[in-house]
């Protein structure tokens, strides 16, 4: 068995209100960054999985993401192997 490291990025789905992103964007003019738009705030989860190979490890992460880490009704996610 090998240990595989992943990160899962979870974001609000398009069209879903993102008040955090809106609040961050509203503060930007105070920094002189008024040219920055379309701010969205999500979260990133990093985890290690013990598995026989990378596809098997990724399948575990995919399942976890759909069942727990994200709420598929309002969020989407992407999985990245990080080591």
Partner 1 sequence: MKVAVVAFPGSNCDRDAVHAVGLAGAQAELLWHEETDLHGAGAVILPGGFAHGDYLRAGAIARFSPVMGAVRDHAARGGLVLGICNGFQVLTEAGLLPGALLRNDTLRFEHRWVRLAVERRDTPFTHAVPEGRSLRLPIAHGEGCYYLPAADLDALEARGQVLFRYAPPEGNPNGSARDIAGVTDGSGRVCGLMPHPERAAEQILGSDDGLLLMRSLVESMSGAQVAA
- With the C-alpha atoms ordered 71, 72, 75, 78, is the resulting torsion angle positive or negative? positive
Does 69 interact with partner 1 (rule: CB under 8 A)?
A: yes
Provide, rounded to whole angstroms, the least separation between the CB of residue 19 and partner 1: 5
What are the structure tokens assigned to 81, written together?
A: 């192997």
Q: Which of 20, 56, 58, 60 binds partner 1 (CB under 8 A)?
A: 20
Burial class of 62 by CB neighbour count within 10 A (0 to 12, 13 to 18, 19+): middle
Which of residues 1, 2, 5, 23 is near partner 1 by CB under 8 A? 23
Using the rule CB under 8 A, is 73 a contact of partner 1?
Answer: yes
Report the interface residues with partner 1, using CB under 8 A.
16-17, 19-20, 22-23, 68-69, 71, 73-74
């Amino acid at each position: 068995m090998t240990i595989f490291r992943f990160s899962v990025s979870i974001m609000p789905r398009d069209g879903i209100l993102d008040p955090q992103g809106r609040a961050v964007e509203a503060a930007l003019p105070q920094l002189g960054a008024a040219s920055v738009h379309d701010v969205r705030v999500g979260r990133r989860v990093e985890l290690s999985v013990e598995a026989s190979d990378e596809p098997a490890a990724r399948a575990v992460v995919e399942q976890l993401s759909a069942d727990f880490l994200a709420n598929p009704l309002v969020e989407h996610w992407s999985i990245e192997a990080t080591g």
